[in-house]
Amino acid sequence: MADHLTDNLKRPLSEVLDENKMPKKRFFRTRAHCNPLSYNDGFAYPVAPDEFDWTAHYPNIPEEDRVVTVLDIGMGFGGLTVSLATSLPNNLVLGMEIRAKVCEYVRLRIEALRVDHPGQYQNSSCLRTNCMRYLPNFFRKHQMEKIFICFPDPHFKAKNHRRRIVSHILLSEYAYLLKPGGRLYTVTDVEELHKWHVEKCEAHPSFRRVPDSEALANDPGVRTMLEDTEESKKVARLGGNKHFAVYERIADFHPEDGATGSSSSSDSKFNTHIMKLFE
């Protein structure tokens, strides 16, 4: 490993790594959030998903198996990304983050974990990008099994609500990426933002909510999301509340078939919405 970092830090690795080669978080502190609508330049992205080379991210995974199926959008310092790597060993997990210093921290963290735990964490990686703009450039339709959105920026001011990572337009992108039966996970400690998430997801025809009790009992991803992110641990220390919701991707409706790919009555909202497009 070269003894230098990106231009975002301009410090030698020997200074920012501890004796176990793990990055020291104090050198990677940055603003908690940023405006995704102003970060539109400087990102490298492929014209189409098949043009992106994942070798550098998953060097020890066979080429034919380098297909990301789990996304951690706005990964922060990577707590969920690395936890999912061990709880979902048969999936490729990718954390995505817009802040350069934070992404560099997670990259070094995963490198160190791979060295300390031979054979593990090969299925996890991170990528700096703007998820509000470039997700379809990296991933194919119905490629994802799980998408996590954990403790996103609330953007409290009404004029800034368009910056929120959950909106009708972005939910359509998530629906495009998720395979039928795939799941979208959200969690926040801000009740008003949770209500926003629920309102937008309930109104979108491609998603149905998984009952909280069912999600907690049967989906280990929920416990991981609620317990293993840095922000979730901070909320727990401060005695705050964690508001979560899990949504399942409904199968697409095909007019020529006369039915959806699912017999669930929860699809009726989706069917009605789509049928109106053909009237």
The Cα 85–Cα 217 span in angstroms is 21
Closest CA to 245 of 212, 202, 208, 206: 212
109 secondary structure, DSSP code: H
The Cα 205–Cα 73 span in angstroms is 22
Scored b (16 or more CB within 10 A) or e, 142-166 reads bbbbbbbbbbbbbbeeeeeeebbbb
Expressed in angstroms, the distance from the first to the final Cα of the chain is 60
The Cα 33–Cα 97 span in angstroms is 10
Catalytically annotated residues: 153
DSSP letter for each residue of 195-261: HHHHHHHHHSTTEEEEPHHHHHHH-HHHHHHHHSSHHHHHHHHTT---EEEEEEEPPPEETTTTEES
Number of H helices, E strands in the chain: 10, 9
Closest CA to 128 of 95, 89, 172: 95
E-only strand ranges, the chain: 68-73, 92-97, 124-128, 144-150, 178-188, 207-210, 243-249, 253-254, 259-260
